[in-house]
Amino acid sequence: MPLPSDQLEKILGEKFPDSQIQIDDLAGDNDHYRVHIAAPAFNGKSRVDMHKMVFAAIRGTPAEGIHALSLVTKATT
């Protein structure tokens, strides 16, 4: 289900305060995104765990219906 990037950014920003988020709409259709997110919550986590945290954060929100979501995650201090 298409979702504007600003709404996706709001959802992620609420779940990961003090994070840096950049969202690229890969197909221009509000349904295929690459999300770059750097967050203190990721400190000490593996890449797999960071991705699981992002997917858990969008579960139950309108972002759950996005067709394709590519993640680039990193920890910040």
Domain of 54?
5-75
> Minimal CA–CA distance to 36: which of 67, 5, 4, 77?
5
Tokens 């759950």 identify what position? Answer: 64
Among the residues of the chain, which ranges form H helices?
Answer: 5-15, 47-58
CATH of the domain at 44: 3.30.300.90
CB contact at 8 A, 42 and 50: yes
Task: Measure CA 19 to chain center.
Answer: 10
pLDDT band at 1 (very low <50, low <70, confident <90, very high): confident
Q: What is the pLDDT of residue 76?
A: 94
Domains: count for the chain: 1
Instruction: Kindly report the pTM of this predicted structure.
Output: 0.91
pLDDT, tens only, 29-61: 999 999 999 999 999 999 999 999 999 999 999
In the chain, % helix, strand, coil (3-state, to 5) comes to 40, 30, 30
